[in-house]
Amino acid sequence: MSGQAEELQELREVTRRFLADKASISDTRRVVESGRSCDEAVWKQMAEQIGLQGIAVPEQFGGAGMGPVELGVVCEELGRTLYAGPFFATVVMAAQALVAADDVEAAERWLPGIVEGALTGTLAVADLTGEIDPEKVLTTAEPDGEGGWRLTGSKRFVVDGCSADLILAAALVEGEVGLFGIDGDAAGLTREPLAQLDPTRALAVLTFEATPAQRVATDAAAVLGRVRDLVSAHLAAEQAGGAAAALEMAVEYAKVREQFGRPIGSFQAIKHMCADRLLDVESARNAASAAAALLADHDPEASLTASAAAAWAGPAFTRVAKDNIQIHGGIGFTWEHDAHYFLKRAKSSEVLFGSPAHHRARVADLAGI
């Protein structure tokens, strides 16, 4: 095993141990049933004990200085427990947008707080969908005459939008897209929770009414292009992790559940179903890993590979989650069983930042088909 492979394996093991102890699927269920979107104590411990919030943040801002490959490993492990907390919105979306923006002042203001677990954030781009698409921005920004800006408009499907301390929002400035930082308690900001299928990932509608903001990127299109690819690749990694955990749950049950005096796992139909779903899991994992590796190298094929990973991993997770319920039979349909949490996460995340059809169309466009 190479040095990098050993480091990645160690990162995976450390993350998995932490989550097993602090944020297992049982803990996720407890958080959800309590009506919260996060266990704040676990979020703080995640930063203090293993430093996950700063894994892909440059060292000059207090982070570990790692990149997309390492972040993908962490996302995969978080996906296994359906982690209910602001990691994806804060670390994958907001922090990586700040890193890509290359605005030292903004980075120094917000990244250290993210690394320490003291600050959460999110990213809001398209106004009417959850897509990270600069062409779907309708919100506008105007100078306030004092060196700042004021935003007017709204954003839907904003991940952790109700709880984020920092909102990075895309807005139009004379027809060009800019990226702006907004404090969570800013005047003129209204946040409303959005009812949705997946109880483990909070979504919100944000409304800006001349809301004060700080501009953090002049070339926002390039920044958002980079972040869109990172989000696609790392959501695919998270989906691969969730699919792997759901398949393991199904296989373990098939070993102990008996019908006609035999474990149901010995029946050919169950064997074939599990084998097909294993192919889904491994394909999703490999696609997400390939996308992360190309993003780390800033490879020209990274965008295409990231959307290809997203196009495959979302439906794959859904297939595994559905078959997990089928293998569990009647008990799999009950609220008391964890299987339905995996299906809800799978169906919700499949369309969160663009449907599989959206990503397939993007792959075709990038490939010149």
Q: Are residues 112 and 248 in the same domain?
A: no
**Domain assignment of residue 38, given as a range:** 3-116
**Lowest mean pLDDT, pick from 30-34, 253-257, 293-297:** 253-257
Amino acid (1-letter code) at residue 259: Q
Q: Are residues 292 and 162 in the same domain?
A: no
Q: Are residues 303 and 238 in the same domain?
A: yes
Of 52, 344, 45, residue with least CA distance to 200: 344
* Final residue of a structural domain among 196, 219, 242: 219
Q: Are residues 246 and 341 in the same domain?
A: yes
Please name the residue that has the structure tokens 């064997």.
271
Confidence of residue 21 (pLDDT cuts 50, 70, 90): very high
State yes or no: pLDDT of 1 exceeds 70.
no
State yes or no: pLDDT of 80 exceeds 90.
yes
* Final residue of a structural domain among 160, 185, 219: 219
How are beta strands 121-124 and 166-173 bridged, if at all?
parallel
Handedness of CA 231, 232, 238, 242 (dihedral sign): positive
Spatial separation of the C-alpha atoms in residues 80 and 201, rounded to whole Å? 14
Confidence of residue 5 (pLDDT cuts 50, 70, 90): confident
Spatial separation of the C-alpha atoms in residues 85 and 71, rounded to whole Å? 16
State yes or no: pLDDT of 309 exceeds 70.
yes
Q: Are residues 130 and 207 in the same domain?
A: yes
Q: Are residues 103 and 147 in the same domain?
A: no
**Lowest mean pLDDT, pick from 60-64, 172-176, 238-242, 333-337:** 333-337
Task: Give the mean model confidence (pLDDT) for residues 194-212.
Answer: 95
State yes or no: pLDDT of 90 exceeds 90.
yes
Q: Are residues 104 and 130 in the same domain?
A: no
State yes or no: pLDDT of 134 exceeds 90.
yes
Residues in the chain: 369
Q: Are residues 315 and 294 in the same domain?
A: yes
Q: Are residues 80 and 91 in the same domain?
A: yes
State yes or no: pLDDT of 345 exceeds 80.
yes
**How far lies 275's CA from each of 219, 268, 317, 326, in Å?**
46, 10, 14, 15
Q: Are residues 269 and 338 in the same domain?
A: yes
State yes or no: pLDDT of 211 exceeds 70.
yes
Task: Give the mean model confidence (pLDDT) for residues 101-124.
Answer: 96
Q: Are residues 255 and 357 in the same domain?
A: yes
Q: Can you read off the two tokens belonging to residue 361?
A: 């169309």
What is the model's pLDDT at position 257?
81
Find the CATH number of the domain harbouring 50.
1.10.540.10
Mean per-residue pLDDT over the chain, rounded: 95
State yes or no: pLDDT of 255 exceeds 90.
no
* Final residue of a structural domain among 87, 116, 145: 116
Confidence of residue 36 (pLDDT cuts 50, 70, 90): confident
Task: Give the mean model confidence (pLDDT) for residues 268-295.
Answer: 96
**How far lies 272's CA from each of 84, 193, 259, 347, in Å?**
32, 41, 17, 23
Spatial separation of the C-alpha atoms in residues 219 and 51, rounded to whole Å? 30
Q: How many domains does the chain divide into?
A: 3
Q: Are residues 258 and 166 in the same domain?
A: no
